Amino acid sequence: MTERILFLALALSWLPVGGDEAERPNILWLSAEDIGPHLGCFGDPHAVTPHLDRLATEGVRFTHAFTTAGVCAPCRSGIITGMYQTSLGTHHMRCRAKLPDIVRPFTAYLREAGYYCSNNRKEDYQFVTPADAWDESGANAHWRKRPRKDQPFFSVFNFTGCHESGIANASKYRSVTSVLSEAQRQDPARLTTLPPYYQDTPTVREDWKRNYELITAMDYWVGDLLRQLEEDGLRENTIVFFWSDHGVGLPRAKRWLYDSGVHVPLIVSVPEKWRQDGQGSSGSRSDRLVSSIDYAPTMLNLAGVDLPGHLQGQPFLGPNLPPERQYVYGARDRMDERYDIIRMVRDHRFKYLRNYEPHKTYYQYVSYSEKGGTLREMRRLFETGKLPESAAGYFAPSKPAEELYDTQNDPHELNNLAADPQYRNRLRRMRAAQNAWAETTLDLGFIAEPLLDELERKYGSRYGILHRSGGREFFARLARAAADATAGAEKKAELLAALTDEEAAVRYWGAVGLANLGAEAGDAEEAVAKALRDPELVVRTAAARAMCRLGKPESALPVLVSVLETGSQWERLHAALVLDEIDAQARPVIKAMRQALQPRAELFSGGKYVVRVINRALNQLDGTDRAVR
C-alpha cells in the first residue's frame, strides 16, 4: 500500500500525443490456464513453444511475475478489479460476492476513454459482471467486431485447453493436442524436470508429459491470434501480453502458494512507438517483481487513463512508474469443499507462508483434484509406505504455522527455514510484512464464510464489512484472535477472552483456538460448553469441535446434527467438516449424516460440497464404497 501511495504522489495525467482515440495503443491479452513458466523462452529444456519464444524475442520476459492465488477464480477477480480477492470477499473458490459501488472492472474505465473492450470468453470473477465491463464477452468476441477500424481496442482471449482437466481427462487431452505433429510429442521417459515432491512413476510421468503437450497446443493458438493481428495490419500499434492465471494443474502446484502454484510466465511485446524509457525492448528480461494485481493499473497507465484511488496494484509499464515492489502477496482460502487459510509474502529471493489452520493436512481431500492420476498415485503409494519424505510430508496430519524458503538455493521450497536461528531476522521481517499487508488491505479471510454472507447482507458488500466505522478495530481483534488460535497454550487466556467478544467472527477463532489446544484446554470446558449455545451456528460448530477434542463428544454431536439439519449451506459445510475430522467420534450420528445427503434446494449452490464431505466421512466410518455426487 505504501508503494501505491508513492505512485499516486508521482503520477500525472497522461495521454499519448494528440489525445484522441487513434493515438492510443491497442492492447491484446493472451491468457492461458494452469501453466507455470514451462516455456522455451523461460529456459525449459523440454518445452516446444515457438510462437511464444518468438514473442519473447520481440518484447520482455518478466521472470518474477506472480499471481495472488493458486487457483483461477479468486485470482481473476483481482485481475479484473485491481484489488485483492481478500479485500473484496472473492477469496473462496466458487463464491459469489457483491461489488461495492466504488469498485469497477478496469475495462469500464477503458471504455469510457474510448476503447472497444472484448473478452473471449472466460470471466469467472466471483461476482456478477457489471453491464459496463465489456462491449462483448462471449465465444465470438473479437477486436474485429468494433464499429470503427480506427477505434483502439482492449481484447482478451483465454485458452482453456491446458486446464488441469486436460491432464486428468484423457479424452480432453487427446482432443486439445490433436494439432500436434509427432515431432512435437513428448517422451515421458526422457523428461528431466519432474519435481522432487512427486514420486517418479509412469503415471506421474504421463501427467507431466501431458502438461507439456497441452502447452504446445496452446502455443499453436497463440500463433493463430498473432497471425490474425498481423493480417489486420495492427501489430505495430498493439501491445501484446501473454500470461497464465496460476501454476500447473497438478498437486502441490495449483491451489498452492508455493512458486509451483503462483509463479507464472509473463511476456509483453511493446511496439517501439509505445515504449517508455526503453521499457520492453526486444529480447529483454526484467527481474522486477510483478503481481497479477498490477495488471489493471498497468493497462490504464498504458492507455493514458487516470488510476482510480482504490486500486491496490501498481503499474509496471508506461510513464511515471512508482518504485519497484519489495514484496508480492498471495492467499489461499476455501477450495471447493475444504477450508484452509494460508497467506504468502515473497520478495526476490525468500518466500514466507503463514498457515492459520496448521491442524489441517496439506493434501485435504478435495473431490475435484482427486480425479487426477498423480494425486491418486501418491495417495496409493503413501498408504503402502512407499513415498519418499519429500512427497510423503504433504500427507502429514498437520503442518507448521510458518514456513520460510530460500527460493534461490531451494527452488522447489522443500527446506523450511522458519525454525532456523540463522534466519530469525528474515522470518520476523517477512512475518511483519504479512501482518502489515493483511491490516492495510483489510483481509476478509479471517471471517468464517457463514458470517461473511450474513455481514454482507447487513453492510451491502463484503468490502463494506471492514470499511465501515469501527471496522479497523474489529479487524485488529479478529487478526489477533486468528494468530492466537495457533500460538499454543500460552494464549489460552486470550482465546477465552475472544470467546466472549461482541463479534461472532472473533468468538469463532476463540473456539477454534481452544479446540486446537485439545487436552491443554481442559479447564476451559465450561466456557466451551456455553459457546455450544452461541447465537451463531458457526461458533457453535467450532465449540463442538473443541468439545470433541476435549473428549466430550456426547455434548457436541447433537449440536453438529442440528446444524446439519437447520443451517445454511456454509453452516452445514462447517459442521460436515468437523464430523469428518473427528472420525470415530462421529459414529453415533451416522444415521443423521446419511439423512443429510437427501436432496436439498441449495444442492447446486454450495450444498453439493456438504454432500461430498459427508460422503467422504461415511466412507471413512463404515467403509462403504459410495460415489461422490
- Of residues 41, 72, 75, 117, which has the active-site annotation? 72
Q: Taking the complete model, does pTM exceed 0.75, yes or no? A: yes
Planar angle of CA 418, 339, 290, nearest 5 degrees: 60
Indicate whether 330 pLDDT > 90: yes
Is the Cβ–Cβ distance between 248 and 341 less than 8 Å?
no
Q: How many CB atoms lie within 10 A of CB 306?
A: 13
Residues paired with residue 157 on neighbouring β-strands, in sequence order: 30, 120
**Max alpha carbon distance in the chain (Å)?**
76
> Percent of the chain scored above 90 by pLDDT?
92
Quick one: pLDDT at residue 598?
79
3-state secondary structure at position 137? strand
User: Across residues 392-402, what is the average pLDDT?
Assistant: 97
Q: What share of the chain is helix, strand, coil (3-state, %, to 5)?
A: 50, 10, 40
Indicate whether 202 pLDDT > 50: yes
Confidence of residue 589 (pLDDT cuts 50, 70, 90): very high
User: Across residues 253-274, what is the average pLDDT?
Assistant: 97
Q: What are phi and psi of 238, to 5 degrees?
A: -130, 125
Indicate whether 602 pLDDT > 70: no
In 3D space, the residue among 448, 469, 450, 446 whose CA is nearest the CA of residue 459 turns out to be: 469
3-state secondary structure at position 411? coil
Quick one: pLDDT at residue 168?
98
Q: How many CB atoms lie within 10 A of CB 200?
A: 12
Confidence of residue 208 (pLDDT cuts 50, 70, 90): very high
Q: What are phi and psi of 157, to 5 degrees?
A: -130, 130
User: Across residues 92-96, what is the average pLDDT?
Assistant: 97
In 3D space, the residue among 297, 429, 249 whose CA is nearest the CA of residue 352 turns out to be: 429
User: Across residues 19-37, what is the average pLDDT?
Assistant: 86
Indicate whether 4 pLDDT > 60: no
> Percent of the chain scored above 70 by pLDDT?
94
Q: Map out the domains of the chain with their CATH numbers.
A: 2-323 (3.40.720.10), 447-622 (1.25.10.10)
pLDDT of 264-286, one tens digit each? 999 999 999 999 988 999 999 99
In 3D space, the residue among 375, 51, 373, 47 whose CA is nearest the CA of residue 212 turns out to be: 47
pLDDT of 221-251, one tens digit each? 999 999 999 999 999 999 999 999 999 999 9
Indicate whether 6 pLDDT > 50: no
How far is it, in rounded angstroms, from Cα 223 to Cα 204? Answer: 29
Q: Which range among 12-16, 128-132, 311-315, 496-500 shows the weakest confidence by mean pLDDT?
A: 12-16
Q: How many CB atoms lie within 10 A of CB 518?
A: 15
- Measure CA 336 to chain center: 12
Q: How many CB atoms lie within 10 A of CB 147?
A: 7
In 3D space, the residue among 57, 7, 63 whose CA is nearest the CA of residue 37 turns out to be: 63
User: Across residues 77-86, what is the average pLDDT?
Assistant: 98
Q: What is the DSSP letter of 11?
A: -
pLDDT of 11-26, one tens digit each? 433 344 334 444 899 9
Indicate whether 9 pLDDT > 50: no
Indicate whether 596 pLDDT > 90: no
In the residue annotation, 72 being an active-site residue is answered as yes
pLDDT of 412-437, one tens digit each? 999 999 999 999 999 999 999 999 99
pLDDT of 281-314, one tens digit each? 999 999 999 999 999 999 999 999 999 999 999 9
